[in-house]
Structure 1
Amino acid sequence: MRALSIDRPGEASFVDLPRPDPREGEIGVRVSFIGYCGSDLNSFRGINPLVSYPRVPGHEIAGVIETLGEGVPGSFSVGQQVCVLPYFNCGQCNACRMGRPNACKHNQTMGVQREGALTEFVCVPHGKVIPVDGLALRDLALIEPLAVGFHAVRRAELQAGERVVVLGCGVIGLGAVLGAVSAGARVIAVDLAAGKLEQARGLGAEDVIDASSQDVAAEVARLTGDDGPSVVIEAVGAEVTFRQAVDLVGSCGRVVYVGYAKYPVTYETRFFLMKEMDIRGSRGSTLADFADVIAVLKARPGIGDLIVSRTATFAEAADAMRDWDADPGAFTKIMIAVQHPSEQPA
């Protein structure tokens, strides 16, 4: 079977790999769509510290069950449309024992620490496979990245009516916008790109701020008054927005970091005490977050068309990665159609 391999920074090519057979407890999934993630772009650029080369990228997965290994529960059947929880936790560290496997100390994510799914066929444990009906097959590949944003909202413990600032409107930030709106919060979305702000507004953001032309702090103060926002979700992963989140949040508020900065960040730490604020990290997502995203996508089936910027064929996958690298602001979500639904085996 063919797969796209990032051979080394800046270089990607197609390779032939042996087609795996599902082992006991595994499900064989014919891959239909893969969404490109920022971690894939960082791997291509050589700035993902968790990746070794060569690496097959891809962990935003939509596919169809093709084969079942021995011992797979009867709730799974050939032909079901599925997405995949792409994180592999150890089950033994303290995070796993606490029931928080997304924070596993030894986590391996498909396409990052282990081979990904930008190929024709993958085998995964049945506990990682989630059947989804009632959605376009392409949109199943949106569930994982949106769920990361939903998990940040879960970490924020939002209450209906709270004012929330989301810094960054890439797909993770848009997931946070959608999750916050679904929780009944009033969202202020901030980004440098007007197109992404329009997407945030389309998902339900009440207000948007163009950081390329507006004073973010002044606009947030105008919109929230003396109280400030109850929550700031940082989904950029830059030193300036890490500090900005602390500056913007209101007294006794919560800051949730779902991005991470490349370089160390220097804080004015007195705000931590003066505001008596909470600072929380958010990592990956859980099956509960997947379920929440699936419910929202079913209720609002136009979301996929709003978010997906480009759908490339499998043959165009390397070119699409190069195009994204050359102009990252031009795309919100690139989908790779590994196999068109009409080509799926009956």
Structure 2
Amino acid sequence: MKALEITAPGECRLTEVPTPQPGAGEVLLRVRTVGFCGSDLNTFRGLNPLVSYPRVPGHEIAATIEQLGEGVDGWSVGTPVLVFPYTECGKCSACRADRPNCCRYNQTLGVQREGAMSEFFAISAEKIISAEGLSFSELALVEPLTVGFHAAARGQVRDGDTVAVFGAGAIGLGAIAGAAFRGARVIAIDVDDAKLELATACGAAEAINSRTMPLHDRLQELTDGHGPDVVIEAVGLAETFVAAVEEVAFAGRVVYIGYAKAAVAYETKLFVMKELDIRGSRNALKGDFENVIKMLSSGGFPSDRIVSHQSTLDDAGETLAAWGQNPQAFTKIHVDFPLGDSLSS
């Protein structure tokens, strides 16, 4: 079968690898759509410290069940599914605290272990999720949207809160949708008017272009001088890390999804004066997957607009390189696979 490998920073190749066989308790999936994630871009750029090369990327997966391994019950060949791409050890402090999303020994598909950017993929049946009625594109959007939904949960966003989200890329849009799903009034912040327009379609009540508007003044206007109750940072820049602390309300909550790409220097008195809760947010929990599926199944979410670029496996390496050269031009890339014939036919 064909698979895409990132062989070194800035280098990809399409290669032939053996088709896997499902072991006991596993299913063999025929991959239908895989989304490229920011972690894949960082791997391509040589900026992902968790990756060794070569690496098959891909953990935003839509697939159909091709074969059932020994002992797998309750599933049928041909069923469309998505994949829960994380592992948990069950023993570390995070797992014992019922937070396996940040398991100390987590191995995410396409990062610490081989991903699913290939024609077939074998995985434990415990890691697949069905979502009846969703398209392959929607199935592949579930995982990236859950990351933002989990950030909203980490911020304890509740009905009536005002939530500011820095960044209207794919992860930021998930945070916007997740906060709106919880009943919050959401303010989207970005430097791209087109992305801000999409953010409003995803649930933002207000949009601020921080390149053309005075961010602090506008946030003060929109919050009666208090600042947002919650700020979610989904950009990964030192300046937005700092702005989150500066702009959040007294007694507010700040949630960081990504990693800043440079050292961050804070005026730490704000941590104490505002008595802030500052939280990281990593991956997602099964409940976040359930909520995203519920949102997508209800209709109204602009899934078709989130996917800005589509590719095939043959062209996936070139598309990844183009994303690396001009990241602002891309929101979400989906790599679509041909339907193909069953292995058993």
In structure 2, list runs of 5 or more residues that go unmatched.
none
8 Å contact from structure 1 (residues 257, 281) kept in 2: yes
Task: Compute the RMSD of aligned alpha carbons.
Answer: 1.2
- Deviation string, structure 1 residues 23-59 (Cα, Å, up to 9, x no partner): 1111111100000100101110111111111111111
1:34 counterpart residue number: 34
How far apart are the structure 2 equivalents of 1:302 and 1:319?
29
2:53 counterpart residue number: 53
AA partner of residue 220 (structure 1): L
In structure 1, list runs of 5 or more residues that go unmatched.
none
How far apart are the structure 2 equivalents of 1:51 and 1:39?
10
1:225 counterpart residue number: 224
> Identical aligned pairs, as a percentage?
51
8 Å contact from structure 2 (residues 201, 301) kept in 1: no
Report deviation, 1:132.
1.5
8 Å contact from structure 2 (residues 27, 68) kept in 1: yes
- Deviation string, structure 1 residues 223-262 (Cα, Å, up to 9, x no partner): 1122211000001111111110000100101001111112
How far apart are the structure 2 equivalents of 1:111 and 1:344?
26
Written as runs of structure 1 = structure 2, the 5 A alignment for 1:113-152 is 113-152=112-151
- Asked whether 1:166 is paired with 2:165, we answer yes
How far apart are the structure 2 equivalents of 1:338 and 1:240?
39
- Deviation string, structure 1 residues 127-179 (Cα, Å, up to 9, x no partner): 11001111111210000000000000011111111100000111110000001
8 Å contact from structure 2 (residues 10, 46) kept in 1: yes
8 Å contact from structure 1 (residues 177, 189) kept in 2: yes
Report deviation, 1:344.
5.7
AA partner of residue 4 (structure 1): L
TM-score (norm 2): 0.97
The residue matched to 2:12 in structure 1 has which SS? strand
Report deviation, 1:96.
1.1
The residue matched to 2:157 in structure 1 has which SS? coil
AA partner of residue 225 (structure 1): D
Which stretches of structure 1, 4 residues or more, deviate above 4 A after TM superposition?
Answer: none
1:242 counterpart residue number: 241
1:22 counterpart residue number: 22
- Deviation string, structure 1 residues 60-109 (Cα, Å, up to 9, x no partner): 0000011111122x321111100001111222211112221111011111
1:110 counterpart residue number: 109
How far apart are the structure 1 equivalents of 2:341 and 2:156?
41
Report deviation, 1:263.
2.3
The residue matched to 1:107 in structure 2 has which SS? coil
The residue matched to 1:110 in structure 2 has which SS? coil
Q: 1:40 to 1:244 in 2, by over 3 A?
A: same
Written as runs of structure 1 = structure 2, the 5 A alignment for 1:1-346 is 1-72=1-72, 74-300=73-299, 302-340=301-339, 343=340, 345=342
How far apart are the structure 2 equivalents of 1:301 and 1:89?
33
How many positions carry a matched residue from both structures? Answer: 343
AA partner of residue 242 (structure 1): F
Deviates more, 1:90-99 or 1:7-16: 90-99
Q: 1:158 to 1:302 in 2, by over 3 A?
A: closer
8 Å contact from structure 2 (residues 165, 232) kept in 1: yes
How far apart are the structure 2 equivalents of 1:344 and 1:19?
14
Deviates more, 1:295-304 or 1:121-130: 295-304
The residue matched to 2:284 in structure 1 has which SS? coil
